[in-house]
Structure 1
Amino acid sequence: MNFMQAVQVCLSKYVDFSGRARRSEFWWFALFQVIVSLVASFLGDIVSAIAGLALLLPAFAVGARRLHDIGKSGWLQLIALIPLIGIVVLIYFWVQPGTSEANAHGELVA
């Protein structure tokens, strides 16, 4: 999956917390978020806040689908609320390769 495909899929599934997302989809969308945040920060605080809010649900959704790909619950994103350790553990989960067969969250995504 390339950059544009990942962004299109994540924005079209902006509130779809079911299914699976491959590593490439997740990390391309993360790069898109960083780029949008940087550009929006140069345009002002209000634009930056609007951009952040607009990408909040798609980020949670793709994060949940990414965790589903490794066979974990999307609710594990709440571990990020634990200072320092939580986000490190979450990043560790996000970089793991997905399962190659179907799991409780669905079939393998192309």
Structure 2
Amino acid sequence: MNYYLEALKKYVVFQGRSRRSEYWFFVLFNTIALIILGVIDNVIGTNFEGVPYGALYSIYSLGVFLPSIAVFVRRMHDTGRSGFWIFISLIPLIGAIVLLIFLVQDSQEGDNKYGPNPKLA
């Protein structure tokens, strides 16, 4: 849970590096929260007409939009890549596969141009 809170605290920090664990725990907790909020939306009837999600889901999604991008950019920095790699996701299927490979890679050894290795801090 600390990784999730740490990513939220740095919600607009696009500089520096984030470890794999920080990124993937943030993704895990976001996924769990979205599933729970989707169920709550269904139970209390706040779903939008013809859409599988509702108001709570939408508000939470908007709230974590910037933190999600920021932690992604810091994760790319940790592997020695620019945050602009996010745009490769615009290429259907291949872009997602390339990003997944980048996201599961280990940190770049030592310091890089984006900062010191967070594993050693």
TM-score of the superposition, structure 1-length normalised?
Answer: 0.93
Q: What is the identity, as a one-letter code, of the residue corresponding to 1:54?
A: G
Q: Of residues 16, 32, 37 in structure 1, which corresponds to 2:34?
A: 37
Q: What is the identity, as a one-letter code, of the residue corresponding to 1:53?
A: L
Structure 1: 5+ residue stretches without partners: none
Q: How much has 1:100 moved relative to structure 2? A: 2.1
Matched, 1:8 2:5: yes
1:58-97 residue pairs with structure 2 within 5 A? 58-97=67-106
Matched, 1:53 2:50: no
Q: What is the identity, as a one-letter code, of the residue corresponding to 1:88?
A: I
Which structure: larger Rg?
2
CA distance in 2, matches of 1:5, 1:20: 16
Corresponding residue SS for 2:76 = helix
Structure 2: 5+ residue stretches without partners: 42-53
CA distance in 1, matches of 2:70, 2:86: 10
Q: What is the identity, as a one-letter code, of the residue corresponding to 2:35?
A: L
Identity of aligned residues (%): 42
TM-score of the superposition, structure 2-length normalised?
Answer: 0.85
Corresponding residue SS for 2:22 = helix
More helix by share: 1
Aligned to 1:18: 15
Structure 1: 4+ residue segments shifted above 6 A? none
Q: How much has 1:23 moved relative to structure 2? A: 0.4
Deviations 1:47-81 (A, max 9, x none): 11111111111111000000000100011011111
